[in-house]
C-alpha cells in the first residue's frame, strides 16, 4: 500500500476540520488544539505480525490469571499472576529465570496483585489486599522497599471512598497513581465513579494535589423485586488511560473516538478526533446471548439500555509514542485496531480477535509494544493463559 505523504495528510486534516466543525457536538468542537481526521482516510501503510515466542507454563511453574506484564530493556518479560500471587520472570528466549514473591503477608509476599509497572531500574507491584506497593530492583530482582498506601490521604471528599487501582512508573522514580472514587450517598442512581490521579514519590508520599480528575466507569441501573441495584455490562462506557514514557497522559471516554492529551502536570495540550459510527446495540439479542440464571436475567431485563456500543474498547501508547486504539464494530469476534502517530495520523489498521459481548470494562487487555514487538495475553492450548510475542512489520 502506497504511503500518504505527511505534508498532504496535514493539509487534509486541517481542511477536514473546517468542513465538519459545524457538525460536531459542542463539547468536541469547543476544544482547543483539536485535530479532526476523516473517518474514511486510508492508513499510511499495512501492518503484519509475525509470531516469534511464547511465554507460557513450564514443568515447574503454572500460569494462572495474568493481570499485567512489563517488558524491560533486556527483553525480559515480567508476568503478574494474580492466581499464583507472584511475578514470573522470563528471558527474551522464553525461558523462565526467576519467580518474584509468593502468597503471604511478609516482605516481598502478596495476597492480591492488582497492578505492576516499571521504569529503567525498578519494578513496582501493587497489592490491594495488603494496601501496599512493593519495589524490586530490576538489576538484582530483589526487594528494595515496601511502603503502605494510606487511603486517608485521598479520602478528603465528604461521603466518598477512594480506592487505588492503577500505577504508572515514570523515569524520574515517581509514580502516577490512579484512585477510583465511589460515592457513598445516592450510589445507586449517582453519576459514574471518578478517577483522581496523584504523583507519589519513591517512599509512598504524595507530592502533588490531584493532577487529573476524570469520570471512571458507568454502571447499569437495574432492579429486582423493586429494589434498585448496579451491574457492570460489556456495553458500558468508561475512561481509557495510558501514560507515555515521557509522562504525557492520553485519555478517552469510550463513547467517542476522541483522545485528549495532557502533559505530566495534568495541563491539557491537544485533542484528536475521528468521526465514528458506533455499533448498534440490540437489547433482546444482547440478553439472549448471556448465560444468566433466572435472577440475573430479571435484573438485566429490567435495566435501561443505550442505543449503541461504545466506540472504543482499549487504548495504549507504545515506547515510540504511537497510539494503539481498538474500536468496537459490528464484528462480534474481532476488534478493529488503529495505530496512530502521537499527533493522530493514521499509520495502520488491522483486526485482532476479541468478543465485545464478553469484554470486561474493568480488566480490558494485557498487552504492550516494546522495541518493535507486540506482547499480548492469549489463551494457551491447555486452556490457561500465556504471553505471546509478535514481531511487528510495517
Q: What is the mean pLDDT of residues 331-335?
A: 95
Question: What is the chain's mean pLDDT, rounded?
Answer: 88
| pLDDT cut 90: percent of the chain above it | 65
Q: Which of 308, 311, 234 is nearest to 272 (CA)?
A: 311
pLDDT at 163: 87
The grid coordinates of residue 35 equal: 485535530
pLDDT at 43: 97
| CA–centroid distance for 386 within its chain | 19
Q: Is the pTM of this model over 0.95?
A: no
pLDDT at 93: 96
The grid coordinates of residue 79 equal: 508476568
Model confidence over 197-214: pLDDT tens digits? 999 987 888 877 889 999
Q: What is the mean pLDDT of residues 256-271?
A: 96
The grid coordinates of residue 314 equal: 482499549
| CA–centroid distance for 244 within its chain | 13
Model confidence over 300-325: pLDDT tens digits? 888 889 999 999 999 999 999 999 99
Encode burial over 267-288: b for 16+ CB neighbours within 10 A, e otherwise: eeebbbbbbbebbebeeeebee
Q: What is the mean pLDDT of residues 254-261?
A: 98
Beta pairing class for 66-71 and 77-81: antiparallel
Taken in order 301, 302, 308, 313, the sign of the CA dihedral is negative
Residue 254 or residue 303, greater confidence: 254
pLDDT at 245: 84
Residue 209: HSE in the Cβ half-sphere, 13 Å Cα cutoff: 1
For the ranges 15-19, 143-147, 292-296, the one whose mean pLDDT is highest: 143-147
Amino acid at each position: 500500500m502506497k504511503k500518504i505523504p505527511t505534508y498532504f495528510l496535514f493539509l487534509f486534516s486541517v481542511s477536514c476540520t473546517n468542513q465538519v466543525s459545524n457538525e460536531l457536538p459542542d463539547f468536541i468542537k469547543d476544544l482547543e488544539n483539536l485535530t479532526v481526521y476523516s473517518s474514511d482516510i486510508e492508513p499510511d501503510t499495512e501492518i503484519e505480525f509475525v509470531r516469534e515466542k511464547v511465554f507460557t507454563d513450564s514443568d515447574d511453574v503454572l500460569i494462572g490469571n495474568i493481570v499485567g506484564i512489563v517488558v524491560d530493556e533486556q527483553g525480559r518479560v515480567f508476568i503478574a499472576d494474580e492466581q499464583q500471587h507472584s511475578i514470573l520472570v522470563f528471558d527474551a528466549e522464553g525461558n523462565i529465570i526467576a519467580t518474584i514473591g509468593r502468597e503471604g503477608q511478609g516482605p516481598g509476599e502478596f495476597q492480591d496483585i492488582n497492578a505492576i509497572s516499571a521504569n529503567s531500574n525498578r519494578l513496582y507491584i501493587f497489592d490491594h489486599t495488603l494496601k501496599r506497593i512493593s519495589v524490586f530492583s530490576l538489576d538484582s530482582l530483589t526487594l528494595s522497599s515496601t511502603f503502605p498506601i494510606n487511603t486517608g490521604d485521598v479520602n478528603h471528599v465528604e461521603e466518598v471512598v477512594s480506592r487505588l487501582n492503577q500505577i504508572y512508573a515514570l523515569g524520574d522514580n515517581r509514580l502516577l497513581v490512579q484512585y477510583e472514587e465511589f460515592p457513598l450517598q445516592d450510589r445507586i442512581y449517582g453519576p459514574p465513579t471518578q478517577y483522581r490521579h496523584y504523583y507519589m514519590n519513591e517512599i509512598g508520599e504524595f507530592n502533588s494535589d490531584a493532577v487529573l480528575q476524570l469520570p471512571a466507569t458507568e454502571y447499569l441501573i437495574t432492579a429486582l423485586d423493586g429494589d434498585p441495584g448496579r451491574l457492570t455490562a460489556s456495553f458500558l462506557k468508561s475512561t481509557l488511560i495510558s501514560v507515555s514514557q515521557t509522562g504525557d497522559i492520553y485519555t478517552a471516554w469510550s463513547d467517542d473516538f476522541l483522545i485528549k492529551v495532557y502533559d505530566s502536570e495534568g495541563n491539557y495540550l491537544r485533542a484528536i478526533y475521528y468521526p465514528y459510527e458506533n455499533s448498534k446495540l440490540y437489547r433482546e439479542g444482547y440478553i439472549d446471548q448471556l448465560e444468566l440464571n433466572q435472577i440475573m436475567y430479571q435484573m438485566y431485563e429490567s435495566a435501561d439500555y443505550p442505543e449503541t456500543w461504545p466506540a472504543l474498547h482499549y487504548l495504549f501508547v507504545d515506547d515510540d509514542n504511537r497510539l494503539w486504539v481498538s474500536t468496537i464494530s459490528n464484528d462480534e469476534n474481532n476488534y478493529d485496531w488503529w495505530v496512530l502517530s502521537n499527533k493522530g495520523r493514521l499509520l495502520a489498521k488491522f483486526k485482532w480477535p476479541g468478543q465485545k459481548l464478553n469484554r470486561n470494562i474493568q480488566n480490558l487487555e494485557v498487552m504492550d509494544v516494546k522495541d518493535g514487538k507486540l506482547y499480548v495475553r492469549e489463551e494457551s492450548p491447555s486452556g490457561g493463559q500465556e504471553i505471546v510475542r509478535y514481531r511487528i512489520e510495517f
